[in-house]
Amino acid sequence: MPVNEIELNLLKRCFDHQEGAWPDFVDSFLGLIYHVIGLTSQNRSVVLSDSDHETLAGEILEELVRNDYALLRQFRGESSLAAYLTVVTRRICVRRLVMMRQEAALGHVHAHRQTFDGSSSEIEPVLALAEVDRLLGILEPDDARIVRLYHVEFLGFRDIARKLDIEEQEVTEVLRTARKRLSEEPATE
Q: Does residue 113 surpass a pLDDT of 80? A: no
Q: Structural domains in the chain?
A: 5-112 (1.10.1740.10), 124-184 (1.10.10.10)
Q: Does residue 55 surpass a pLDDT of 50? A: yes
Give the HSE-up count for residue 51: Cα atoms under 13 Å, Cβ half-sphere: 0
**pLDDT value at residue 117:** 34
What confidence category does residue 157 fall into, taking pLDDT thresholds of 50, 70 and 90?
confident
Query: Are 156 and 162 within 8 A, CB to CB?
Result: no
More confidently predicted of 110 and 162: 162
More confidently predicted of 98 and 72: 72
The answer to whether the pTM exceeds 0.85 is no
**pLDDT value at residue 106:** 59
Beta strands in 4-157 (DSSP E): 112-114, 120-122
**pLDDT value at residue 129:** 60
**pLDDT value at residue 144:** 87
Q: SS3 of 160, please?
A: helix
Q: Does residue 118 surpass a pLDDT of 50? A: no
What confidence category does residue 127 fall into, taking pLDDT thresholds of 50, 70 and 90?
low
The C-alpha atoms of residue 105 and residue 6 are separated, in whole angstroms, by: 45
Q: Does residue 126 surpass a pLDDT of 70? A: no
Give the HSE-up count for residue 169: Cα atoms under 13 Å, Cβ half-sphere: 0
Q: Does residue 107 surpass a pLDDT of 50? A: yes
Q: Does residue 119 surpass a pLDDT of 60? A: no
The C-alpha atoms of residue 87 and residue 4 are separated, in whole angstroms, by: 18
